[in-house]
Amino acid sequence: MGLFSKSLVAASSKPLILGILQEGTSYGYRIIQRVKEISNGQIEWSDGMLYPVLHRLEKEVLIESKWMQSEEGRHRKYYSITEAGKEALHVEKAHWTNMNNVMQNLWDLNPSTSNN
């Protein structure tokens, strides 16, 4: 479906969601739009993919939810990041950055020269 491989989506979903909720409280549908925004349209999550992840993160107490009525009268489940979630985001950032450094090191050692 998307541009990215399943495993890359899996590895990025947790830090992305936590990062977005660090910006402030949000809800499922809005998170999907925000992911599309910050990726310049590259990442298009489906709702069937997102909600199970949100439920998992809530079970891990990294985020918490509250049903609320918006001004327009819409019934929405608003998520916010917990203290544990902030710490987890910190750790996720570090892991991601470390792994990225390893990759870049390896690739710099043998830069691909051909254009295929």
Distance (Å, whole) CA 77 – CA 111: 47
Distance (Å, whole) CA 50 – CA 43: 12
Q: Are 73 and 34 in contact (CB under 8 A)?
A: no
Kindly tell me which of 5 and 69 has the beta carbon lying closer to its own copies: 5
Distance (Å, whole) CA 34 – CA 44: 10
Q: How far is the CB of 113 from DNA (least distance, A)?
A: 27
Structure-token pair, residue 7 = 């495993």
- Please, which of residues 82-111 interact with its own copies by CB under 8 A? 83, 86-87, 89-90, 92-93, 95-96, 98-100, 102-103, 105-107, 109-110
Kindly list the residues in this chain that would bind its own copies in the complex (CB under 8 A). 3-5, 7-8, 10-12, 14-16, 19-20, 22-23, 38-39, 42-43, 83, 86-87, 89-90, 92-93, 95-96, 98-100, 102-103, 105-107, 109-110, 112, 114, 116
